[in-house]
Each structure stands twice: as structure tokens, then as C-alpha cells.
Amino acid sequence: MPAKDIYHDAVRNALEKESWKITKDPFILRWGTRDLCIDLGAQKPIAAKKSGQKIAVEIKSFVGASPITDLEKGGSQMCKFILLCSAGILPASVAIKLPE
């Protein structure tokens, strides 16, 4: 299992403050014979009679020795998650949030 990113706890706390319920930490996804690890799985209820929103959160700090290498690794992970969503394996949409 990969090590937690340095911002893992801060992101988790921020999600919980926004009423997200952390359902998996980490979120392990089986794909064929392989396990994929996503940092967090979370769910936020909308209303009592409506289905809840679900998200999977991958956290990246981009504090490695090479910002380009960090970006390449993060980008390849995003591509992997987009493919999993489009194949219906990961029941979520993919979005990226970068610091301003």
C-alpha cells in the first residue's frame, strides 16, 4: 500500500468539515487481478430521500525533486482514473483541483 501524501490528513479534515463521510481510507479498487489504491472514498448525503454523491479523492503534493516528474506521475494517474470511469469500473467522475 502506498504511503500517504503529506496533505492527506488536511484533505480528509477539509472533506469532513464540508459534511463528507469518509467511507474508505484508503479506497482499494480491484481491477482484474490487480488492486488499485485511491487515497480516499467519501460520500455526502444530499437529502433523506435522495441518493448521495460519491467521490474518490487522489491527493498529490507535487513536492518531489522534479516538478515535471511529479506532474507526469499525477497526469498518468488521472488518465488511469478516467479510463476506469469510462469503463464503468470506477463509479465516479474525474476532476482535478490545483492550488491557485
Q: What are the extents of the domains in the chain?
A: 8-86
pLDDT at 49: 43
pLDDT at 50: 45
CATH topology of domain 8-86: Trna Endonuclease; Chain: A, domain 1 (3.40.1350)
pLDDT at 98: 63
The predicted-structure confidence for 42-99, as pLDDT tens digits, reads as follows 777 654 444 677 777 877 778 888 888 888 888 888 888 888 888 877 766 666 666 6
Instruction: Characterize the bridge pairing of strands 40-44 and 21-24.
Output: antiparallel
pLDDT at 51: 60
Secondary structure E strands in 3-98:
21-24, 27-31, 34-38, 40-44, 53-57
**Cis peptide leading into 45, omega within 30 of 0?**
no
The predicted-structure confidence for 17-40, as pLDDT tens digits, reads as follows 888 888 888 888 887 888 888 887
